[in-house]
Amino acid sequence: MTAVSAVTTAAPGAPVVDLDLADLRHDPYPAYAELRARAPLAWVPSVGRHLLTRYEDIVHAEKLPEVFSSREQGSLLLRTVGPNMLREDDPNHRRLRSAAEPPTRPRQVRDLWAGAFERTAHDLLDRIAGRGEADLIADFAEPLAAANLALVLGLHTASATDIADWSRAMMAGNSNYADDPDIWLRAERATGAIDDAVAEAAEAARREPDGSVISSMVHAAEPVDLTEIQNNVKVIIGGGVNEPRDVFGVGAWALLNRPEVLDRVLKEPASWKRVFEETARWVSPIGMYPRQLTRDYEIAGLTLPAGSRVGLVIASGNRDESVFERADEFDLDRPNRPHLAFGGGPHFCMGAWVARHEVSAVAWPLVFSRLKGLRLAAGTESPLEGWVFRGPTALNVTWQAA
C-alpha cells in the first residue's frame, strides 16, 4: 500500500470543536453526547484529529481497513512500542496476529490458564481477607491481571509488579497527547526492560515450547523475528493489564452502588457474563483509537481527504442513544446489541476471551463470595478517570473480616 502523508488540519467543511483534555479525563461522556448530536465528525485541535463518535459510523469505518488504515503516521503507540500488529494492516497484521493469537482462544483459556487464574485470585484474596479493608484495584485487580498476563505471555521471570508498572508507563505514553517529556522517559525505560525480558523468554521457549504467546510466536509457521515479538508483547502488556483491571473495577463499583442489582446477580451466577458485557459497554476501558485515511472518503456527511487522521471514539459509540436506549444507565436487562469495547474487524481485541474469563468467571465471583458484607468505603466518590483509557484509579472497600 502506498504511504499517504498525514493531514493535520481540519477537512474542508468539518466543524472545529475545542475540547479540554482535562475535562475529557474527568468525564468525556457529556462532550461525546454533544458531538454525536451536533458534530458526529469534528476536528478537535487538542488531539490533532477528527473524532468520529456515532456507533454506525464507527462500525462502518471498522469494516473498511483498506480505507481507515491502522498505519497512522506519528502514532503515539508507534512512538511508544515501535511497529506492531495494532498499527499494521493485512497481510502483515494477519501474519503477526496468527502467530500470537492461539494461546488466547476460548479453548486454550479454559484448558491452559483457567486453573492458574483461579489459584492466583485465591492467593491475592488470602493476603487481604483478614484486613477488612483494601483498595481492590491496587491490592487485587491489577496484580491479578498482571500475574495472569505474565503467565499467558510466557514471561516467567517478570513479576506482577513488573508487568503492572510497564503497562502503566506504556499506556501513559500511548495517551500522551500533551507530549510530556517525563511520560516519554518512563515509557522508554519500561520498553527497554520488556525487550530484555522477552529476549530471555524467547530463547527459553525456543528450547522448550510452553504454550505461551511468546512460544507461539517463536514457533510460528510464518517467521516472526525477535524485534517483532518484543514490540507485540509490549502492545499486549498494555491492553492485557488495563482492560481486565478496569472492567473489574468499573463493574464492582457499579454493583456496589446498586445493591438490588448485586443481590440479583449473586442469586443468578450465570448473569456475571451479562455484567461483564454491560460494564464494558457502559465505560469502555479503551475509549478511542486512531486511523488514517488511505484515500478520499465520505463519512458522516463529510468528505475526508486522503491522509486525514481520525479517532474512532468507541466509548462514544457505546453510549449512542440511537443504538442503546438509556445509554448512560448501567442496565443488565438492555436488549442484546454488540458493543464496541473490544473493537471490530480484523483488529478485534485478541485478549477478549482472556479478560472475559478472568473477570466474569473468576475475579468477581470470588471477591463477592469471599469478602462478606463488601461495601464501598465511606466517602468514596466516583473513582473513574481518563478518556483514551478509562477506569478506576482506586476502589476502596471494607468488609466483615473473619
Q: How many domains does the chain have?
A: 1
| Contact present, 287 and 311 (Cβ < 8 Å) | no
Residue 14 lies in a domain: no
Question: What pLDDT, in 10s, does the model give residues 354-375?
Answer: 999 999 999 999 999 999 999 9
Q: What does R_g of the chain's alpha carbons equal in angstroms?
A: 21
Model confidence at 270: pLDDT above 70: yes
**pLDDT on residue 349:** 82
Residue 7 lies in a domain: no
Strands (E), 170-296: 289-293
User: What's the grid cell of residue 183?
Assistant: 511520560
pTM for this predicted structure: 0.92
Q: Domain of 85?
A: 21-398
Residue 16 lies in a domain: no
Question: What pLDDT, in 10s, does the model give residues 221-246?
Answer: 998 999 999 999 998 998 889 899 99
Residue 323 lies in a domain: yes
| Pairwise CA distance, residues 330 & 265, whole Å | 14
**pLDDT on residue 379:** 84
User: Which of 176-185, 204-213, 309-318 has the lowest average pLDDT?
Assistant: 176-185
User: What CATH number did the domain enclosing 105 receive?
Assistant: 1.10.630.10
Q: Which residues contact 191 (CB under 8 A, 6 or more apart)?
A: 80, 81, 82, 166, 170, 234
